[in-house]
Every structure is written in structure tokens, then in C-alpha cells.
Structure 1
Amino acid sequence: MGVILQDLQGNQYDLKKYGLFTDAPVVSPPSPRHTTDTIDGRNGKIDLGTTFEGRIIDVSMAFISRDRIDYALLRDEIFALFDARKYFYLIDTDQPGKRWKVKTASAYSIDRKVDIVGEFEIQFVSMSPFAESIGTTLNLAESDYVPQFETNEVPQYVFSANQFEVYNDGETVDPREVPLVIEFKGASTDLTIKNITTGDTWQLTGTTNGTDVVKLDGIRALKNGISIFGETNRKVLTLSGHGWNEFEITGAIAPFEINFDFRFYYF
């Protein structure tokens, strides 16, 4: 029970260096933000959709210094560690496969219990309403991935068939909001990739050869690193949440390969 802190490069902070002990984080519930409109003469409101605010995470901490002089030095190092100008990742040790991107939310005070012991409660803010999986779908074996939703099949994210299914363990993945990389390698004529589950279709007008790599990276479309956005139907592919997404490819010429690289997002 406690927290692990990582910098944005994934390097773990050594909390023992600061003499820090932590309790389990307390994560605030999702806070909805409803968008509505009204029409004169009509009762009620028109629902235009719901989004979510960021999240607040409270953590109780304590530290033990070697002596009175070391107490002040350690306190100042903790102030620098939780510099509110920088982001870092917070991981609940009870959910080691997820992380929150946070920064210090507000001022906090350290209660000096005895000469060498300090206790404080600190509040962090995540600008996103979602925690994310530490690993991506192409390196899940290297992370502490624990799926939230049961599936009898082991998810795969590299395919060489015209029809396949992509499993999304978390909330909807929209490349306009979060990273999603889809790579197609191989020959094709008027390549079309369709997510039957969501109804999204991406199309490329023209051909690729066996050594070409087509990459859909967020809203960008690239072939061998060069933009081909103007040769597409200017659409994006999204992934429905909490289950399987059924895909169909047309225009591809075997042998080819397609892979999906993304993180899972959780409330």
C-alpha cells in the first residue's frame, strides 16, 4: 500500500532517499461536465453531451530524518521533489499496471511531530480524467498489465489477415485526444481499413508496395514518413471501449502486416 513516483521518462524516484513513507492514494470520483442548450417555448434542456473534468488525488505522507539538521535539508528536498511546475507519474502500488500523470495541485504544510519526523497531506491534480496503462499494447508483456475486464482470449495486436479483432481494455480511444498508432506494412491498392464496431472507415487512394509502411499516428497519415493526408478520406479510426473491436481490411495484397499500438485508459 502506497505510491510509486516516476518522471516522464519512466525513471522511478527513490523515495527512501527522502525518507518518505506513503499511504494509498485517494482518487476523487469522475466529475461530469454537461453541455446543454435551450429552445424558447420548450421545456427542459437539450443534452449536447458530457465530458469530464480532471481528477484530484490526495496522498498522506511522512518522512524520518537522521537528526534535527537533516530534517530541514530533507524538508527542502521534498519541496523540490513536488515542485508544482513539473509533471510526473503517480502509481498506486495496489494497481501497479496503471499510472496518473499529475502535478502538485496546491500548497501544503508539513507537521513536525518530533525533531526528526514530519507528516503532511499533499494534493495532486491530473488534468485528464483517466489513468493510463503503463505499457502499450505492443509491450504489455514488459509491464504489470492486469486487465479490468475478463476475456477468454489472449489479445493480439499484430495481424496478417483481412479480418481480425482488437481488444480495448479501457475507455474509448480517440486519436484526436490520446495517442493511437496503426501501422500497415505491405502492398495494397486503394487500401481501406474499417472498424465495423464503431463504423469508422479510413481509406487511401493509390497504391503501396511490399516495402512501404503506412502509419496512422494520431490524426496524421504517413507513408514512409511522408504525409499522405491529402490522398486519404481525411478520417480517423477510433476504438470502442471495454471489449472487442471488429476490423476489416480491403485492398491489401498478401503478405502484409498491421499492428495497433495504444494505451488503455481507466476511470
Structure 2
Amino acid sequence: MDLLIEKDGNEKRYASELKLFVKDIHVSNATLEQTLTGVKGRAGSIDRGATHGVKTVTLTGMLKAANQLEYLHYRDLIYAVFSDDEAFYVTEFYNDKDMYDFELPGERQGFSLGDIGIPKFRYRQRYLVRLNNDISIDFIGASAGGLKADVTIELCTTELPYGETKPVNILVKNNRVRYRGSAKCSQLESPFTLKATALNNGTNANFTIGDRTLVFTGAYKTNDVFELNGVSNLQNSISINDKTNYQYFIFKPSIQKFIDVFCSKPNDFKLEVVNFKELYL
């Protein structure tokens, strides 16, 4: 296993590059915060819904250094990388090799964590996080392989309490979009845009994602570009909020993994979802 740390979209560093041999990466579920109101003289509570709070990502591993100077250098480098006051993305990496094997006593000379090799496969989602608690580096001692210390680093999500895929732009085909996430993706929480490019002249159109429909009443002409953002709706970069109903879109998890995305006049518009993400609990 390994952990990729990404900052500012350009700086990338693996935990293994910090002399950290990752033993486990524990990702918690997103905490659930209920809003309940009690009424005197009435049994139970009134359920006013629930929201997700935070998700924690805890890395446990071993710091391995050749000598004291290298130990101090990488200890401080770990502090510098993970104690940043700016939020950063972390992504789990895994290997196609088995972590564990079985053998007869003395069948082989030995095994080292480094024998597993650098993981090559990125997991589907990443997390925007910041350090949650003090980094724990507990010195174990010296061995033939150098100095060793147990390391525990606890991170927590900062904005969305979900794992998220990298944002992409997707062209809508066959009036649907594949959404494999396990959490709702709302325009109000994870902004995305339904972009509609007019292919013909016309008036009035409805745009639908899942069970939500935005109604536009007005004229459009060929090559007009609509950007439906939930909070603001634009036609050729000019606000048309006065020509639409108040509506925002949500991609919701489903067994079929596909969400309907269409226009009431399919021959008049090309649809595209800009900044599309899948969110995971």
C-alpha cells in the first residue's frame, strides 16, 4: 500500500518517498449528524433530517532510516508534508501482489516490506484533507536494516466528507450519465454545470437530471450556450435567472448506476456535464 499526497495540483509525493512503509490506511465512514427536535408531552422526536460530518483517513506505517541524520531529516519532512495549513488531496495506491504469503520454516531467507515494490494502481477516489491530530512517531530502535519508528498520521476531510473522483467533463449520450458514487452529488455542495449548446433556433426548453427539472422560458438561437449552475443560470454568459424556475441538480446513487439527463427538445441541444465528480461515503 501507499499514499499519494497532492498539493496545488502540481506537487506530488508518495508516502514511500518519505521512507514510510505503509502498513495500513484506515478510512472511516462519513459521520452522520442527525437533527432531532423533542416535543414536550410527545413520545420520540421530530426528524428534521441528517447531514454528513467528516471522514477520517489514518495512516499507520514504519519510518526506516539508515542512520540518525537520515532519521531526523525524514521525521521533519513528514511533519512538513502532513502539517500543512492548506488542505491537500490524498489517494490510496495498492499493489497487484499479495501482501501475505505462506512458507515452511527456513524455506526462504527472509522478507522485507520493501520487497512488495511500489504500488502501481490508484484507487478510484481521493480525499481533500488536513491533519487532525499530532503526528505520532515512536522510535523503536536500531536493527540490521537501520533505525525504525512506528508512525501514525490521522487526517480528516475539510470540505466534502466524501471520497471524490477527479473532476471531468462528460458528453451526455443516450439521455443518461453513469454515476457510480454512493453519496449524493449536489450542485450546492460540489458545484458542477449542465452545459447546453443550441443546435437550432427555438423557444422554451426543459432540462432534467434525475427527478429535478429546470424550466427555461425564452428564445434561443443556434450556437447559444446555456450554463446551468444551480445558483446561477447563464445564456451566453448573461444571467437568465428571471427566465427559469429556481432549481438545482443532484446526482443520486442508484442500483442501475445511471442517471437520466435530457432536454425536452433533444434535437435542439447538445448536453455536457462540466466538472462532474462521483462521491463516495
- Gapped runs of 5+ residues in structure 2? 95-121
Q: Secondary structure at the match of 1:122?
A: strand
Tell me the equivalent position of 1:189.
Answer: 203
Tell me the equivalent position of 2:222.
Answer: 210
Alignment of 1:223 with 2:250, yes or no, is: no
Distance change >3 Å, CA 58–CA 98, structure 1 → 2: same
Tell me the equivalent position of 2:89.
Answer: 89
Contact 1:178 1:218 in 2 (8 A): no
User: Which amino acid in 2 is paired with 1:213?
Assistant: V
Using structure 2 for the length normalisation, give the TM-score. 0.78
Q: Secondary structure at the match of 1:204?
A: strand
Distance change >3 Å, CA 203–CA 249, structure 1 → 2: same
Contact 2:177 2:259 in 1 (8 A): yes
Q: What is the CA deviation profile of residues 32-66 of structure 1, one whole-angstrom value per residue up to 9, with x for unaligned ones?
A: 21111233332211111111220122111222234
Tell me the equivalent position of 2:100.
Answer: none
Q: Secondary structure at the match of 1:89?
A: strand
Distance change >3 Å, CA 218–CA 73, structure 1 → 2: farther
Tell me the equivalent position of 2:125.
Answer: 98
Tell me the equivalent position of 1:264.
Answer: 278
Aligned residues: 243
| Stretches of 4+ aligned residues off by more than 3 angstroms | 14-17
Root-mean-square deviation (Å): 2.3
Tell me the equivalent position of 2:190.
Answer: 178
Tell me the equivalent position of 2:168.
Answer: 136
1:121 to 139, 152, 164: 152
User: Which amino acid in 2 is paired with 1:158?
Assistant: V
Tell me the equivalent position of 2:2.
Answer: 2
User: Which amino acid in 1 is paired with 2:260?
Assistant: E
User: Which amino acid in 2 is paired with 1:192?
Assistant: N
Using structure 1 for the length normalisation, give the TM-score. 0.81
Distance change >3 Å, CA 23–CA 2, structure 1 → 2: farther
Separation in structure 1 between the aligned mates of residue 90 and residue 14 of structure 2, nearest angstrom: 13
Separation in structure 2 between the aligned mates of residue 266 and residue 16 of structure 1, nearest angstrom: 26
Contact 1:100 1:131 in 2 (8 A): yes
Contact 1:212 1:224 in 2 (8 A): yes
The 10-residue stretch of structure 1 (211-220 or 3-12) with the greater mean CA deviation from structure 2: 3-12
Separation in structure 2 between the aligned mates of residue 226 and residue 183 of structure 1, nearest angstrom: 14
Q: Secondary structure at the match of 2:77?
A: helix
Q: Which has the higher strand share?
A: 2
Q: Secondary structure at the match of 1:219?
A: coil
- Gapped runs of 5+ residues in structure 1? 139-156
User: Which amino acid in 2 is paired with 1:82?
Assistant: F
**Aligned residues: percent identity?**
21
Tell me the equivalent position of 1:109.
Answer: 136
Q: What is the CA deviation profile of residues 108-146 of structure 1, one whole-angstrom value per residue up to 9, with x for unaligned ones?
A: 2311223533321111011333101135363xxxxxxxx
Contact 1:108 1:122 in 2 (8 A): yes
Contact 2:16 2:22 in 1 (8 A): no
Q: What is the CA deviation profile of residues 200-249 of structure 1, one whole-angstrom value per residue up to 9, with x for unaligned ones?
A: 11022211211111112342212222322222212112222233323442
Separation in structure 2 between the aligned mates of residue 121 and residue 99 of structure 1, nearest angstrom: 19
Contact 2:60 2:152 in 1 (8 A): yes
Shift of 1:185: 0.3
Shift of 1:16: 4.5
The structure whose Rg is larger is 2
Contact 2:24 2:61 in 1 (8 A): no
Contact 2:230 2:249 in 1 (8 A): no
Tell me the equivalent position of 1:167.
Answer: 178
Separation in structure 1 between the aligned mates of residue 259 and residue 68 of structure 2, nearest angstrom: 59
Separation in structure 2 between the aligned mates of residue 56 and residue 14 of structure 1, nearest angstrom: 19
